[in-house]
Each structure stands twice: as C-alpha cells, then as structure tokens.
Amino acid sequence: MYSHLARLATLVAPVLRGMTLGVRGACFDEDGRVFLVRHSYLPGWYLPGGGVERGETVSEALLRELREEGGIEIDDAPTLFGIYNNPKRRRDHVLVFVSRRVRRPNPPLYPNREIAEAGFFEVGALPEATTPATRRRLAEIAAGAPNSPHW
C-alpha cells in the first residue's frame, strides 16, 4: 500500500506544487566507495536524498535524508557539486553534494517502508540497475566527466 501511495505522490506533486527542490548526497567511505540506495517504490539504485521540506534548509534536508535512508553521518561539511534541472519533472531542481568522510553509526534495518536495500559500491562496479542519472553524476564527480545542467 505504501509503495502505491509513494508512487502516486511522485506523480501528483509536480502538478500540485510550484518548483520542487531536492538534495542528493554522493557519500564516499574511506575506501572510495559510494553509498547507494534502492527504494521500495522505484526501480534502480540512487544516491540517497529527497525533497527539501517547507521551513527546512538545504543542509538540514540533506543531513535528514542521509540519516533516514542510510544512517549516514557526515564528518565534514558537504561540498555542493552541482545544481541540476530535471527535465522529466517540470520545475524540479536537484542539488548534489559530495562528502568523503562519512560513517554509519546506526544503519537502519532493511528492507523498510522506503528503502529496500543499501550499501557502499566501487564507482567502477556499480549495481547493474543503477539509474542513468546516478551514473552520470558519479562520472562527473569521480571521473571528471563534463557537468551537465540536466539531471
């Protein structure tokens, strides 16, 4: 039931709201592996993140999403890597942050209502179902590929 409601919310939100703003975190462990999540309501693997809620700063949203989805705590100030427009969702923007000093003192139990599974992966050996947008962001971050303004 929850996955159907979550999927419906992702389809209805752009119609009911004005511009949406989201955050994603490219979180790397000490071995250079990146943390990815697989949602219970969407196919594919993603950088953890989500929407910035009313009254919340971008930084607060990022830290909240990282804690909720992965139990991730950041030991350094995350660096804003890029701002992307999502052409698939009218007026949707995503801010991507990078942090290379992270830890997971209290990882959530998986699967749960939102996240089916999560883990750290070598950038050169991502899960097959990693989304194209996630692969593009990691190529920009890790391999120095040219940045695109589009998600």
Q: What is the pLDDT of residue 61?
A: 97
Q: What pTM value is reported for the model?
A: 0.85
Q: How much is the average pLDDT of 67-87? A: 93
pLDDT score for 76? 86
Domain coordinates in residue numbering, the chain? 2-143
Per residue in 102-137, pLDDT (tens digit) is: 999 989 999 999 999 999 999 999 999 999 999 999
What is the fold of 2-143?
A: Nucleoside Triphosphate Pyrophosphohydrolase (3.90.79)
Check whether 51 has a pLDDT greater than 70.
Answer: yes
Tokens of 27: 């979180």
3-state secondary structure of 51: strand
Sign of CA dihedral 49, 63, 36, 113: negative
Residue 63: helix, strand or coil by DSSP?
helix
Question: Which pLDDT band, with edges at 50, 70 and 90, does 11 fall under?
Answer: low
Write the DSSP string, 79-136: EEEEEEEETTSTTEEEEEEEES-EE-SSPPPSS-SSEEEEEEE-GGG--TTB-HHHHH
Q: What is d(CA 33, CA 26) in angstroms, rounded to the nearest whole number?
A: 10
Q: Given a cut of 90, is residue 8 above it in pLDDT? A: no
Q: What pLDDT score was predicted for residue 4?
A: 62
Please identify which of the residues 30, 53, 60, 117 carries the catalytic annotation. Answer: 117
Mean pLDDT, to the nearest integer, of 15-42?
90
Q: Is 117 a catalytic residue?
A: yes
